[in-house]
Structure 1
Amino acid sequence: MTRSLLRPVLALCLVLIAGGAPAQAQEAPAFTAGQRAEILGILRQALREDPSIIREALAGLEEADRRDRSEAQRAAIAGNADALFRDAADPSKGNARGDITIVEFFDARCGYCKQLQPAMDALLRRDPNVRVVLKDLPILGPNSVLASRALLAAQRQGRYVPLYDALLSLRTEPTEAVLRQQAERAGLDWSRLRRDMDDPAIGARIERNLALAQRLGIEGTPALIIGNTLVPGAIELPALERLVAEARAALNPR
């Protein structure tokens, strides 16, 4: 068997060893004991002669898995487009009529979310046609939930973004005492804010965000949706600008 033919055979064997198989393989007849022995013998000889074959086969499998995940994420984004991009209840920053909308899932206690914010703010300064939708995703404990409740309550007083900016710059825990201090500095009525924080409707909004993140396969914060791409983790300004440019190009193909 030639080296070029060994690669697909080895890839198939690795899939079978891993416990899965493509549809075509599942439809094929099972190997006989003799055929299995012959294949294993060929593989052993080939790997002794050229160990790079297995590295290339594994890389091919990883690339196929990455493509599958990417396609699944694009389908999930398309299937949840209204909840992501067109929910009138969501707070936002930037140009409300911008041609590109970025959706940011964040936790106010998340260090990586805080790390991302300077790049996001710089993007909004440099690109006046970007809108950022903010999705509270409090996954880091009780103080995260408390901060999200405060933010969503602040939205009722038209002060979501000032409190958001304050909390994302915070280097201490957003305890209730700290939230009160930051809220008052942001011009909020604390008594009203505190009452609104306990409104079941705010809890329901947080639950919707958590369910949406789960449907999209989001496993941590921050997570950005830019066009049809899900970007996990904090990224730098050049990467943000590149992804925005790609999303804009997809809207206006030449």
Structure 2
Amino acid sequence: MFRALILSGLLALPTTAMAQDLSPDEVKKLALEAILENPEIVMQAVEILRTRDAQAAEAAAQETLSQGRAALERDPNAPVLGNPDGDVTVVEFFDYNCPYCQRAGEQVNEALGLDDGIRVVMREWPILGEGSVWAARAALASRAQGMYPEFHQALMNARARLGETTVLKIAADVGLDVEQLRTDMDAPEVTSHIETSMQLAQQLGFSGTPSFVVGETLAPGLITSAQLLEMVDELRAAQ
């Protein structure tokens, strides 16, 4: 930011001054004088930086969508809900302690009930504290016992702040072997899934949960079943 402001200030200086061999301190002084005389330079510089950041983020997202499609949609280390052989894939980034994710989960379930051609790739993205990490690790570990869908839904339905105690109680309630679950939570594939989610979310420019990817469409935030089905229909028509 400071470097950009200095550059903006220098651009406002006379050409003769620009041509001089200035010391760093002289450059800073002249830039400050230019900014004081033309305070709108600051806002212009901020807007330029925002535009550049937005363009860079969009380029990174498009590269991930074009080059990282397999990692998004066909990662064998990511749970899949809905129809595993569906013709349209929806990728959902979520956190069990996110109330909007809980509401979004209801909308996704509704959409799955209305369209049996959707497969949903679940990207566990625990960003709301240690309790979220615990829930995500436990959910991913439940795959070893073949109970991810049931456990995932039970965690989503909890409507409580999840942490070690609540997660293990829910695990026991759904019939999981809790001691085995504890062991499996430290499996390399569990850590790998979460790390991949973090990386993909960053590359796509997501800043919170829930966030969805449907084809080339990025949909951060809560969406309704109708909105999801509309995106699915548009992607299906374009295939």
1:226 lines up with 2:214 in the alignment: yes
Distance 1:106 1:31 in 2: 47
1:106 lines up with 2:94 in the alignment: yes
Distance 1:70 1:243 in 2: 20
Structure 1 range deviating more: 125-134 or 84-93: 84-93
Tell me the equivalent position of 1:208: 196
Q: Is the 8 A contact 2:61 2:203 kept in 1?
A: no
Tell me the equivalent position of 1:4: none
Tell me the equivalent position of 1:169: 157
Structure 1 range deviating more: 216-225 or 191-200: 191-200
Distance 2:86 2:162 in 1: 32
Q: CA RMSD in A?
A: 2.6
Structure 1 range deviating more: 142-151 or 168-177: 168-177
1:92 lines up with 2:41 in the alignment: no
Q: Is the 8 A contact 1:74 1:229 kept in 2?
A: no
Distance 2:210 2:75 in 1: 20
Tell me the equivalent position of 2:233: 245
Gaps of 5+ in 1: 1-16, 21-29, 34-61
1:128 lines up with 2:128 in the alignment: no
1:95-125 deviations in Å (ceiling 9; x for gaps): 1110000000111111110111111001000
Tell me the equivalent position of 2:66: 78
1:201, CA displacement in angstroms? Answer: 3.7
1:189 lines up with 2:184 in the alignment: no
1:158, CA displacement in angstroms? Answer: 0.8
1:205, CA displacement in angstroms? Answer: 2.3
1:88, CA displacement in angstroms? Answer: 1.5
Aligned residues: 199
1:66, CA displacement in angstroms? Answer: 7.7
- Normalising by structure 2, report the TM-score: 0.75
1:72, CA displacement in angstroms? Answer: 5.0
1:200, CA displacement in angstroms? Answer: 4.0
4+ residue segments displaced more than 4 Å: 30-33, 65-72
1:116-153 deviations in Å (ceiling 9; x for gaps): 11110010000000000000000110001000110010
Gaps of 5+ in 2: 15-49
Code of the aligned partner of 2:138: A
User: Taking every aligned residue pair, what percent have the same amino acid on both sides?
Assistant: 38
- Normalising by structure 1, report the TM-score: 0.71
Distance 1:68 1:219 in 2: 15
1:76, CA displacement in angstroms? Answer: 2.1
Q: Is the 8 A contact 1:116 1:236 kept in 2?
A: yes
Tell me the equivalent position of 1:153: 141
Name the SS for the 1:174 alignment partner.
Answer: coil
Distance 2:117 2:177 in 1: 32
1:144 lines up with 2:125 in the alignment: no
Code of the aligned partner of 2:194: I
Distance 1:129 1:87 in 2: 19
1:204, CA displacement in angstroms? Answer: 2.7
Structure 1 range deviating more: 148-157 or 166-175: 166-175
